[in-house]
Structure 1
Amino acid sequence: MTLNPRKPVAEIAAEMGVSLLTPHLACRDCSRAIEFYRQAFGAEEMMRLPGPDGRLLHAAIRLNGGMVMLNDEYPEMGGQSPLSLGGTPVTLHLMVDDADAAAAKAVAAGAELVMPVSEQFWGDRYGVVKDPFGHQWSIATPVWPPKSPEEMEAARDAAMQKMSGG
């Protein structure tokens, strides 16, 4: 069923300045999370809609050219943050001009360094931080020129051998 047969959803999303795929994060203390993302990653707040009890039902930020939706935890509706769940299997990936500086800025704002930024076999300077709300962020700067598939496979094999102690 198409709700608006005259306009494709991709066109509507483009007019709104949003992507067709948008992460939606549940955060313990969403207002504080918005401020953290502003300080750590340069996010801009787009909007926030508080509920009657003051918790944020919905908020949106623009981050690195994309939109991220957020809300406070609502355990009574099944909405829990990584802090309530004891971790997250999801990593949000940011491509930036300077991964070292971006990771340092996130740590200075209160993120925990999970993996220091370093050269990776696939061709990025790459590291991982966990924000104070339990969400994990990978931060990468591509190193050019890109590797050929053969170079990538050889680099993968060498990295896997090194990781296994060989």
Structure 2
Amino acid sequence: MPFKPDTYPSVAPYLVVDGAQATLDFLVAVFDAAPLRVYPGDHGRLAHAEVRIDDTVVMLGDAMPGWPAVPAHVHVYVPDVDATYARAINAGATPVKAPVQGDDGDRRGGFTDAGGTTWWVGTQLA
């Protein structure tokens, strides 16, 4: 028997946020994330949710007593960093850094969603 779901990576970030449903909706709007599993919690909160962004699964859930929200930084390679950054800002993200060309050959920018996660997005250009 396999030790993990067939289409899941061995490592997946897990985000504990305030407002997991809003974060889930944000990931769908900005990254075209595909919801995989969603388990409702009490009082309209999410106990656990999973989405696929390209080849990666991101897991998340609402903060609760004993499991406080924790700020996180996540990097995502995307086909068009400028378009992704614009979608994020239009979806209500707070700008951190507009996309710029870096010394490493990537064009990269960042924004923070309402749940407190800072997303760094990049497109390899060289």
The residue that corresponds to 2:47 in the other structure is 57
- Deviation at residue 132 of structure 1 after TM alignment: 1.1
Superposition map of 1:9-158 within 5 A: 9=3, 12-13=4-5, 15=6, 17-74=7-64, 76-77=65-66, 79-82=67-70, 88=71, 90-144=72-126
Based on CA coordinates, which of the two structures has the bigger radius of gyration?
A: 1
Q: For the Cα contact (< 8 Å) 1:64–1:94, is it kept in 2? A: no
* TM-score when normalising by structure 2: 0.90
Please give the per-residue CA displacement for 1:75-128, whole angstroms capped at 9, x wherever unaligned. x22x1224xxxxx3x321110111111111111111111011010011100111
RMSD across aligned positions (CA): 1.6
User: How many residues in Structure 1 have an aligned counterpart in Structure 2?
Assistant: 126
* TM-score when normalising by structure 1: 0.70
- Deviation at residue 26 of structure 1 after TM alignment: 1.0
Q: How far, CA to CA, are the matches of 1:67 and 1:114 in structure 2?
A: 24
Q: How far, CA to CA, are the matches of 2:98 and 2:43 in structure 1?
A: 40
Unaligned regions of 5+ residues in structure 1, if any? 1-6, 83-87, 145-166
Q: For the Cα contact (< 8 Å) 2:22–2:115, is it kept in 1? A: no
Q: For the Cα contact (< 8 Å) 1:49–1:56, is it kept in 2? A: yes
- Deviation at residue 51 of structure 1 after TM alignment: 2.8
Unaligned regions of 5+ residues in structure 2, if any? none
Q: For the Cα contact (< 8 Å) 2:35–2:51, is it kept in 1? A: yes
Q: How far, CA to CA, are the matches of 1:101 and 1:30 in structure 2?
A: 24
Q: For the Cα contact (< 8 Å) 2:99–2:108, is it kept in 1? A: yes
- Deviation at residue 39 of structure 1 after TM alignment: 0.9
Consecutive aligned runs of 4 or more in structure 1 exceeding 3 Å deviation: none
Q: How far, CA to CA, are the matches of 2:124 and 2:115 in structure 1?
A: 27
- Deviation at residue 29 of structure 1 after TM alignment: 1.7
Q: For the Cα contact (< 8 Å) 1:37–1:43, is it kept in 2? A: yes
- Deviation at residue 63 of structure 1 after TM alignment: 1.4
Name the % identity: 29
Whose strand proportion is higher, 1 or 2? 2
